[in-house]
Structure 1
Amino acid sequence: MALPKKLKNMNLYNDGVSYVGQCKTVTLPKLGRKLEAWRGGGMDGPVKVDLGHSDDGITLEWTLGGWDLTALRQYGAVSVSGVQLRWAGSIQRDDDEQVSAVEVVVRGRHEEIDMGDSEGGEDTEHKFNTACSYYKLTIDGSVEVEIDLLNFIFVVNGEDRLAAHRKAIGL
């Protein structure tokens, strides 16, 4: 029997600046594919064909307690990959005490900053929604998924799933 690995602690870094003690929550990006039904002649039913990454894009949502000028000053970044965020998580199984390091690195720009409610003597939180052009998931030092939308790169478990396509179009 094995128990699941659970997040025990985390930190978020914004362009190398640590948010230890300030980052309340991080919603890691959903990974989605755009699949559309295709039913050609001689087929008894449709199959979903893969048309690349989801139109919903890659988004990282995060919440800080209090005010942070680093992120506020990044608002309106011109480059689609102008901000780098790195989430580091420590996960552990409670049956064998095994600890694993999980890291998600994204590059993008802040699509939305929600300054929240302001009331004297009450907690203050700011919520950020960062639209990403790059995503990399690393577990215990092994890159599991890497998506670089600008450079037409999509790697899963060491397999570059777009290499043949890049070659076919001369990239």
Structure 2
Amino acid sequence: MAQIPVKLQAAAVYLEDSSIEVATGDVTLPSFDSLSETLSGAGILGEIDVPTPGHFGSMEVGINWRTIQTEAVKLISSEVHALDIRGAFQIFNQSGKLETKGIKVTIRAMGKGLDLGKLAQNSTTDTTTTLEVVYIKIFIDGIAVIELDKLNYVFRVNGQDDLLDVRKILGKS
């Protein structure tokens, strides 16, 4: 029996390398959408959309808050903010027993937008902060599985450094 992911059991968000958890509704993690160039011509049947390793379009992280909070407002400033998002996933392991696996997402991002939401009696405001990601590193059970540093030419997947040669050629290594 393979490991079967079940659900996110619990999550916590920490801001600016603090040990104090902030109360959020949920977090929308960014998408990795490669920038690419279409290749066509003699010797090619049709077109091939060739991704450029380590180059991704705009990457946003969204933090949904239950109410308007000072942390939500703080995050729209133009400085780069550090976020540490941790989660505990439930899985069925190979023996069919429930087990917990950890995920940690470290993000550095700049404030991009703030939707204050609505003010309605006996209701959440559904406030949302949007940030532009410049750095992200994801750990699953303590092992780094992806790292992207848009400002320092770093893109690693499962330990493979896809931009090592590029950094060497450009004198950045």
- Matched residue pairs, number? 165
Given that 2:5 and 2:89 are in contact with CA atoms closer than 8 Å, whether structure 1 keeps it comes out as: no
Query: Does the residue aligned with 1:4 lie in a helix, a strand or coil?
Result: strand
Q: Runs of 4 or more off by more than 3 Å in structure 1?
A: none
How big is the shift at 1:99? Answer: 0.9
Matched ranges for 1:68-83 at <5 A: 68-77=69-78, 79=79, 82-83=80-81
Q: Distance in 2 between matches of 1:26 and 1:46?
A: 37
How big is the shift at 1:72? Answer: 1.1
Q: Distance in 2 between matches of 1:50 and 1:87?
A: 28
TM-score w.r.t. the length of structure 2 is: 0.87
How big is the shift at 1:161? Answer: 0.6
How big is the shift at 1:170? Answer: 1.4
Partner of 1:54: 56
Letter in 2 for 1:91: F
Query: Does the residue aligned with 1:91 lie in a helix, a strand or coil?
Result: strand
How big is the shift at 1:70? Answer: 2.6
CA RMSD after TM alignment: 1.6
1:7-64 C-alpha deviation (Å, 9 max, x unpaired): 1111111112412xx2111111111211232013222232221224232x22111111
Q: Which consecutive unaligned segments of at least 5 residues does structure 2 have? A: none
Q: Distance in 1 between matches of 2:113 and 2:32?
A: 20
Partner of 1:163: 164
Given that 1:14 and 1:71 are in contact with CA atoms closer than 8 Å, whether structure 2 keeps it comes out as: no
TM-score w.r.t. the length of structure 1 is: 0.88
Q: Distance in 1 between matches of 2:6 and 2:143?
A: 17
Q: Distance in 2 between matches of 1:73 and 1:27?
A: 18
1:122-144 C-alpha deviation (Å, 9 max, x unpaired): 32231111111001110011000
Does 1:134 pair with 2:145? Answer: no
Q: Which consecutive unaligned segments of at least 5 residues does structure 1 have? A: none
Matched ranges for 1:12-51 at <5 A: 12-15=13-16, 16=18, 17-19=20-22, 22-51=23-52
Letter in 1 for 2:33: G
Identity level (%)? 26
